[in-house]
Structure 1
Amino acid sequence: MDAMTPLTEDSDPLCLPPLDAAALLFAAPWRRFAVIGDSLSAGTGGPSPGYRHRGWSDRLADVLRAVRPDLEYLSTAEDGATTARTLDTQIGRALEFEPDLLHLPCGANDLLRREPDFAEIGQRLRRMYELASESDALLTTFTLGKAYVVPVFPDWSARVARCNDLTRGLAAEYGAVVVDMWDHPVNARDGLLSEDGIHFAASGQAVMAAEMVKSLSHVLARSTHV
């Protein structure tokens, strides 16, 4: 492909065609998929030419339905939700749903305070993991990418790095699947972000969904060798 030819969902090397994605998850046991958290969990974002305007979590649900037509899917994620709001209003509803696959947030909105309290962020995230671990669901999460920038805070990169460290540590402790987007090559793409400069546009959502599918396929592969 010519270097000047714009990528589309069909030509993007970081995306997965629907049939390929379904093939990776053909043995998926999950029938109840739940998502909690903020707009990043929800897959909020603007359109991208050549890509379906659909968030990563809805895309993942589509892939799972392709192999498990009886899949039940619940997303309580909402724009602006902090870890405190997610604990207060979302995780209880999600656990009542009895998921076997549950996505947890990474605390992005907590970083928007003038002086984030990282000890508090860590405590709230840990409480989510504690509650979620009681459900026996496979847990997933992701780190924030370098492309996610809030210029009003000169220490933004340090904030994100610290929050990502919290996410990685808890994911390792609780056996969660973590998709690490910090150094992902998609961060360098032009047009990755929506007009708000915060959320992945549809092209980024497609890549995020592909990374989730790949990570879950690794879980399946390991389980077949146990």
Structure 2
Amino acid sequence: MSKRLVVMGDSFTEGVGDDDPAYPNGVRGWADRVAEQLAAHDPDLRYANLAVRGKLMGQVLAEQLEPALDMRPDLVTLYAGGNDLMRPSVDIDALMDDYDKAIGRLIESGATVVVFTGVDGVEDALFRKMRGRVAIYNEHTRVIAARRGALVVDMWAMRQLRDRRMWAPDRLHLNALGHTEVAIAVLDVLGATHELVGTDLGPRATLSPRERRQQNLQWSREHAWPWVRRRLRGESSGDHIMPKRPVLSPVGQSG
């Protein structure tokens, strides 16, 4: 099994939505769960998490690619572009050209590389509007992975992630249940032994139109408008956040 695991990306990989004060930056997430499972079978594993919330793909690649390569990892995970896709003016083709080059460099370094497709937001009114952009992103990702020899975690196919109960109240980030599902998918793609078990949440409650409107209004007040205000001010949720594990260290240590 790999001895040096480096993960790159934005809030998804940092672990935002899975609050846990026992972990660096106050979040746990799927990547920490993957590292813990791998370390249980390989005590020599060293783990670094360079991901920072709010980062666009260009920022992820500019700020994290060279440090990741310098660590000479055996295993790298990379997911970036979700924040770009939320911007209507995004040039997805240009974005994925840069992604392709970065994945190529990681593969050429000798690392096993894991990439991700985006989640299918068909059941959420807001994210349904982004569905076409995410589908284009996903097709680029699959083509790049096939050509470069990267592994793909297909979150688009993970129907359980369509359930809002897998998501934090902001509807942008997975909660502990969702992050666990992603961790299982990553470990399965790697063919790694693990003890993680998914959650069967059972049937979803049926909401009346009135209840749905109330929930949407509350979400708009508490999460959507603060996000819009940050955008208008040119601010990012990650402006003052540092990577939670900036150097390779044993999984039980934060570096």
Partner-residue secondary structure (3-state), 1:90: helix
Instruction: Name the counterpart of 2:6.
Output: 34
Shift of 1:105: 1.3
- Give the root-mean-square deviation of aligned CA atoms: 2.2
Bigger mean CA offset, 138-147 vs 96-105 = 138-147
- Give the equivalent residue in structure 1 for 2:88: 114
Is it true that 1:165 corresponds to 2:139 in the alignment? yes
Hey, what's the Cα distance between the residues in 2 that align with 1:153 and 1:40?
Answer: 16
Q: Match for residue 136 of structure 1? A: 110
Q: Which residue of 2 aligns with 1:199?
A: 173
Letter in 1 for 2:183: A
Equivalent-residue separation in structure 2 for 1:149 and 1:39 (angstroms): 22
Pairing 1:96–2:101 present: no
SS of 1:133's partner is helix
The CA deviation string for residues 142-184 of structure 1, in whole angstroms up to 9 with x for no partner, is: 1111248885677311011111111111111111110101121
Distance verdict in 2 for CA 1:178–1:89, change over 3 Å = same
In 1, the alpha carbon distance for the partners of 2:178 and 2:185 equals: 11
Distance 1:150 1:188 in 2: 8
Aligned mates of 1:139, 1:164 — CA distance in 2 = 16
Rg larger in structure: 2
TM-score (norm 1): 0.76
Tell me if the contact between 1:106 and 1:163 (Cα under 8 Å) persists in the aligned partners: no
Structure 1 residue corresponding to 2:148, chosen from 166, 174, 178: 174
Contact 1:60 1:212 in 2 (8 A): yes
1: distance between equivalents of 2:122 and 2:56? Answer: 17
Q: Is the 8 A contact 1:91 1:128 kept in 2?
A: yes
Listed one character per residue, the Cα deviations across residues 117-163 of structure 1 (whole Å, up to 9, x for unaligned) are 01211111012112212210000011111248885677311011111
Q: Is 1:189 matched up with 2:163?
A: yes
Q: Is the 8 A contact 1:149 1:156 kept in 2?
A: no
Mark the CA change 1:47 to 1:186 in structure 2 (over 3 Å): closer, same or farther: farther
Cα 1:44–1:99 shift into 2, 3 Å: same
Unaligned runs of 5+ in 1: 1-28, 219-226
Kindly tell me the number of residue pairs found equivalent between the two proteins: 186
Tell me: CA distance 1:149–1:35, structure 2 relative to 1, closer, same or farther (3 Å): farther
Q: Which segments of structure 1 move beyond 3 Å, counting only runs of 4 or more?
A: 147-155
Residue identity (%): 33
Alignment check: 8 A CA contact 1:46 1:200 kept: yes
Q: Cα distance, 1:193 vs. partner?
A: 0.9
Equivalent residues of 2:122, 2:162 under 8 A apart:
no
TM-score (norm 2): 0.68
1:27-71, CA deviations, whole angstroms, 9 ceiling, x for partnerless residues? xx20000011111122321459xxxx7310000000111011111
How far apart are the structure 1 equivalents of 2:37 and 2:108?
26
Q: Structure 1 residues 114, 133: closer, same or farther in 2, change over 3 A?
A: same
User: Structure 2 counterpart of 1:197, which letter?
Assistant: R
